[in-house]
Structure 1
């Protein structure tokens, strides 16, 4: 809170991953597959998962994920961000299919209860007040709506943006020195939370955890980008054989959580999985 993050108004200009189209579309495939399972929609290829729904990607940057949400059948798709260069690129390519809005996540441009599906994928660590953004998403989400969340974990060993081990563990002043020492950035702006902190952040939602289902069955969830190639297959095979208590013991240090949240109690409607999603919390 209070730290200057004005550089992130042009985040896509210094984080090239935001413009990696192939990678962003792979992430979108995973998001759509998770939503499809939770909603009990689609046949596994992403088609029809969002048929007839109003969808918004909060933190859309250059718009690749928003474009894939259209491909999944969304009736109306919005992309919201403060990354002006990213939004320009998005509007140039996808403006006829997606409505892009330059807006703050703490004041979303939607009426109460008007959005059926919200996507908030690896965004919370970049914003000044993530609790206020989550509260605003709760306001605009329909009573029977669904919120997809990709959430980085402060206790994940390798920091995902700058590829420096234990960076997110450090207090701000030391983290700034660390990224400067390795020439990654002038300052470290991102602020991650632990699993406990994320649960508090989602205190008004009912939440289901899809992290291990995606890792154990990556083909079902287009999740190979989490651990690509042989490493991914081995990780999935090992996790599939671990007992439930061992998986739960790993949860505090998993680098990324994949959660689905709702305002009212709902259960995943998709088929039974080798490692089914588990509830994280209820209000």
Structure 2
């Protein structure tokens, strides 16, 4: 069944309405890009796909020569301030039909977006199209194999057929339907066949471990310092993927970035 974009998307999720939580995500992306892309970003053009109210977009603006934010939801974009618009080129548009020329951007941010678009394969094709050779993507998104569906905090929700998932959500007062579509690690890698994938989850956890408390801090510490084989095993069940994607390219064109300390090394 063909899906449309969710109406009034910004109002559906409290995490999108929390300025502090958006800033925390922005810090994660900032850290990842500056630590793992050692080729210099100051001359680059960055596109933030699914920018919403532009909190993360504006936070990342100083890293780049030019910053663009795109979203389909008019509610979220309606909250972008005039001050933000002075620094960032915001545009309302379809992530599955990006209004940009081929090979026109150096970096794409695609954070917690793929599960919210009607066709994620088309989204990834468009990102690949607009990226320059050896361009990079900061990608994050949910893992279907993780037993808790994190948008609704319900166990096993994403494993159910759509009909039963919708009933489950309604029964527990979590909404009228279950819209989000996630993939497993193996499935995502197949869909992202046009990219080299670098898992940066472990270094990101190390960076944020000092901010966590209690059992969450302990789990972060254990995973961050676990043997590599355990990390690879757990990667299949992690709640959220954090990856750097590099657009595959003719070997005669060298990559403009150096990626360091990834799980895939």
CA distance in 2, matches of 1:25, 1:88: 19
Q: Report the equivalent of 1:218.
A: 207
Task: Give the CA deviation at 1:268.
Answer: 7.0
Cα deviation for residue 10 of structure 1 reads: 1.6
Partners of 1:88 and 1:75 lie apart in 2 by 25
C-alpha displacement at 1:236, in angstroms? 2.6
For 1:232 and 1:50, the matched residues in 2 are separated by 33
Cα pair distance change 1:128/1:40, threshold 3 Å: same
Change (3 A) 1:149 1:160: same
- The answer to whether the 8 A contact 1:224-1:232 is kept is no
Check whether the contact 2:134–2:256 (CA below 8 A) recurs between aligned residues.
no
DSSP 3-state at the match of 1:278? coil
In the comparison of the two structures, how many residue pairs are matched? 260
CA distance in 2, matches of 1:191, 1:170: 11
Q: CA deviation at 1:237?
A: 2.2
**Structure 1 unmatched ranges of 5 or more:** 42-48
Q: Deviations over 1:185-226 (max 9, x none)?
A: 0001111111111111101111101112222x124xxx777x
Aligned-pair distance for 1:267?
9.6
CA distance in structure 1 between the partners assigned to 2:43 and 2:215 by the alignment: 38
The gaps in structure 2 that reach 5 residues or longer are: 250-254
In the superposition, the TM-score normalised over structure 1's length comes to: 0.85
1:1-283 equivalences under 5 Å are 1-3=1-3, 5-6=4-5, 8-40=6-38, 50-71=41-62, 73-92=63-82, 94-215=84-205, 217-219=206-208, 228-264=212-248, 266=255, 269=258, 273=261, 276-278=262-264
Q: Aligned partners of 2:259 and 2:133: how far apart in 1?
A: 20
Alignment partner of 2:69: what SS?
Answer: strand
Distance 1:53 1:200, change over 3 A: same
CA RMSD of aligned residues (A): 2.1
For residues 32-65 of structure 1, the C-alpha deviation after alignment (integer angstroms, 9 at most, x for no partner) is 1111122126xxxxxxx63121111100111101
| CA distance in 1: counterparts of 2:47 and 2:77, whole angstroms | 14
